[in-house]
Chains A and B, each alone.
Chain A
Amino acid sequence: MIKIGIPRALLYYWYGPIWQVFLTELGLSPLVSAPTGKKLLNAGVKAAVDEACLPVKVFLGHTLALKSKCDVLLIPRLVSINRKDYICPKFMGLPEMTKQAVGDHPIMVWKSEKNCALGSAKALPEALRQGFSYGQIRKGLRKAEQAFRAYYHLLQQGLLPVEAEKVLLGGALLSPEKSQRAIGLIGHPYCLYDSFINLDTIGLLRRYGFKVLAPEFFTPQQIEVELGVLAKPLFWTLSQRIFGTFRLLCKQKVEGVIYLSAFACGPEALIGELIKKEAKVLGLPLLQLDLDEHSGEAGFVTRIEAFIDLLNRKRRLSCV
C-alpha cells in the first residue's frame, strides 16, 4: 500500500484528520508524523531560511522526520479558504520550502480553494486525480466532508484536536471538561495545540483547574459577527479568528485570556496590538507569550504561574 506522509504541523490541527479519512477511503495509507520533539525541531531550524517563523520551522522538521518512512509527502498549499481573506504567504510557499528541505523526495500538493474548507476534486493533487476514478474521488470527498463536520462538532464541545481526532478515527468519546473556572487561550492552532513548542500550556492550565476555551470552540459564524466592530476587515483569516474569539471569550465570562504568539510571525505583530487595546477597553486580564525555538522554560512558566496567581487573588478578593 502506498504510504502518504502527513506532517503534524501548521493547519494539520484543522484538516489533518480529514485528509486521513479521505486517503484511507481511497485505499491509501496515511502516515502522520509523531508529535514535535527536540530533535525534530532542531532539524527543522537547520533546514529553514532565517526569516521563517517558528511554526514553519516545525513544519519542515516534520517533513524531514517523515522522509524516510513514506513514499510521498502530502503538502498543503493554502492561499485562501474564505472570500476576501487570506492565509499567510508562508503557507503559500510551503511546497517550495519543503522541496528545499527534503531534496528529491516525492511530494504532492493539496491546494486550498476559496469558500471551501476542503476543496473540490479540482484541488486534489494531480497524482490522486489521475490515479482514481471520478466516482471514487467523489465518494472519498463526501466521506471527508462528513468527517470534517463531525470533527468540528467535537472541537466545539471542548475537545482538543488530538482528542477529537482519536474519537473521529474510532476511539471512545471522552466527556468534555467540567471545571467551573474558565480561561481563554488564543493564538494560531499550531501554537496552541503543539504541546512541545508551548510547553504543554493547555495541560498546565487544566492542572490548575481551568477549563480552557480556544478559537476552535467557536463557529465561523459566531466569529464573523464579532468582526463587525472593526473599522475595516482584517486581511488574514487566522487573525480574524483570534480577534473574534477574544471578544467571544469576554462574553463567555472567562477569568482571563492567554495569547500564545509565534516569534517572527508578521500578522501577529499587528493583531497582538489590536488585542491589547481591546483587552484594555473590555478590562479583561491578558497575558501575551511569545513562543520561540529557544524554549526558555523558566521565564515562560513563571509568567503563566504569575498570571494564574493574579487571577486567583483577584477572585479571592471579589469573594470576600
Chain B
Amino acid sequence: MRTIEDGVFLGVDVGSVSTNLVVMGAEGRILHQIYLRTEGNPIASVQKAFREVAPDFDELKVLGVGVTGSGRQLIGAILGADVIKNEITAHGVAALRAEPQVRTVLEIGGQDSKIILINHGVAVDFGMNTVCAAGTGSFLDQQAHRLNLSIAEFGDIALRAKNPVRIAGRCSVFAESDMIHKQQMGHSLEDIVAGLCEALVRNYLNNVGKGKEIIPPILFQGGVAANAGIKKAFEKELGLEVVVPEYYATMGAWGVALLAQEEKAEYGNSGFRGFQLGEEKIGVDSFECVDCPNRCEVITVRINERPVSGWGGRCGKWQRINAEATG
C-alpha cells in the first residue's frame, strides 16, 4: 500500500471562469481540492492556489504535474508540467475513475460544455459547444445577477418551482428578453428560475448533444453540476437518472492528475518548478510578429525576469525559447 510519503500528483484545471487544483495521492485518491474564480487572470489565480496548498504539502515529493483547461499551455509552461492535456480527455479519465461503468458524461463549465460518450471503458465520441456560450455557466451567472440572486441559491429556488415557465434558450440574448417578459407577466421567481434551468438543458441537448445517443449511467460534472435545478431539468428531459460525482467541480483537474500519473509510470522525474512559484514574479508579453504575412500572435513568459517559454508562432521560432530554457 502506497502512502502519502511516497509523494503526490498535482492536477490543475485552468478554465475561463474557475481555476481548480487537486492534490492526489499516489493511489489516485484526492487529498485536497481548491476551486477558485479565474477572474480573468489565470496566472494570479494559479499562484493563489499554490500559496494555499504550499503550507500543507510543500514537504512532499511531487511525482508529476498535469495541466488542463483553456489556459493549459500558459500555466503548463509556468509550472513545468509533465502533461498538458485537453479538457475532454481529462474529464473522460476522471469520470471513468469515479464510475467505471459510465456511458455518458455531461460536463458544463463556465464557458464551454461538452458531452463524452464512453463504451467499454474508453471514450468513443465527444461533442463540444461551438463559439456560443449560451448553454454554459456564464449564462446562468448573468441571469442570476439580473434576478438579484446569488448563483449558490439558484438551484434550490428552481427546485421549489410548481410550474416552470418555458423560456427560449437558443440564444442568451433572447432568453434574457423572454425572461424579463415572463417577469412582467407576473410569473413567480421560482417558476422563472426553473424555466431557465430547463432552457439551458434544452439548449445543451440540442447543440452539444445533437445526434448523440445518451445511455445511462450518466455523470454530470463541471461547476454547473452544483446546481440542483439543472440536474433535475436533465432528469426530466432525459427521463433517466443523472449522477453528480463527489468531486464534480474539480473532475478536470483530477483527470489530468491521473494522466500525469499514467505518464510518470513510464518516465523519470517531474519537471515541476516547485511550490515557491506562488511567490514568484511572473510576467507575460504578447505581440504580433511581423516577420511574415501570417502575423501570428506570439506570447512569451518570464519568471523572475528570465524568459522561460514562448509560443503562438506558426513557424516555430518562438518555441525555441522553451528548448533554451529547459536545455
Contacts and interface: CB of A to CB of B under 8 A. Distances in A.
B165 interface: no
Interface string A265-276: 000000000001
Nearest to A317: B122
A37 B293 contact: yes
Interface in B108-144: 112, 120-126, 128, 130-131
A294 B131 contact: yes
A302 interface: yes
Interface residues of B, number: 23
Nearest to B292: A37
Contacts of B131: 294, 296, 299
A34 interface: yes
Contacts of A39: 293, 295
Interface in B238-263: none
Interface residues of A, number: 25
Interface in A263-307: 276, 285-286, 290, 294, 296, 298-299, 302-303, 305-307
Contacts of B292: 37
Nearest to A314: B122
Q: Give the one of A37, A200, A286 with max B CB within 10 A.
A: A37
Contacts of A309: 85-86, 88-89, 123
Contact of B211 (A38, A276, A313): A276
Contacts of A298: 70
A146 to B, nearest CB: 34
Contacts of B85: 305, 309
A185 interface: no
Nearest to B88: A306
Interface in A15-39: 34, 37-39
B294 interface: yes
A299 B85 CA distance: 13
Contacts of B107: none
Contacts of B13: none
Contacts of B128: 299, 302-303
A281 to B, nearest CB: 13
**What is the interface of chain A mostly: helix, strand, loop, or mixed?**
helix
B89 A306 contact: yes
Contacts, number: 61
A107 interface: no
B198 interface: no
A138 to B, nearest CB: 40
A276 B88 CA distance: 20
Contacts of B295: 37-39
B314 interface: yes
A290 B130 contact: yes
Interface in B27-67: none
Nearest to A296: B131
B88 A314 contact: no
Q: Give the one of B86, B112, B211 with max A CB within 10 A.
A: B86
B107 to A, nearest CB: 12
A303 B129 CA distance: 11
A252 B87 CA distance: 31
A52 interface: no
Contact of A306 (B70, B121, B126): B126
A262 to B, nearest CB: 14
Contacts of A294: 131
Nearest to A292: B131
A40 to B, nearest CB: 7
A196 B130 contact: no
A268 B22 CA distance: 43
A285 B119 CA distance: 12
Contact of B294 (A38, A296, A317): A38
B89 A305 contact: yes
A310 interface: yes
B123 A38 contact: no
A307 B116 CA distance: 11
A313 B294 contact: no
A314 B124 contact: yes
Given A37-B293, A39-B295, A276-B211, A310 B87 contact: no
A305 B295 CA distance: 24
Contacts of B112: 299
A307 B128 CA distance: 12
A302 B87 contact: yes
Interface in B83-107: 85-89
A307 B126 CA distance: 8
Contacts of A37: 292-295
Contacts of A34: 293
A289 B291 CA distance: 30
Given A302-B128, A310-B124, A313-B123, 15 more contacts: A37-B293, A37-B295, A40-B293, A276-B211, A296-B131, A299-B128, A302-B86, A302-B87, A303-B88, A303-B128, A305-B89, A306-B86, A306-B126, A309-B123, A317-B122
- Interface pairs A-B: 9 shortest CB-CB: A37-B293, A306-B88, A309-B89, A38-B295, A305-B86, A302-B86, A306-B86, A310-B123, A317-B122
18 contacts: A37-B292, A37-B293, A37-B294, A39-B295, A200-B314, A276-B211, A285-B124, A285-B125, A296-B131, A299-B130, A302-B86, A302-B128, A303-B128, A305-B85, A305-B86, A306-B126, A309-B85, A313-B122
Interface of B: 70, 85-89, 112, 120-126, 128, 130-131, 211, 292-295, 314
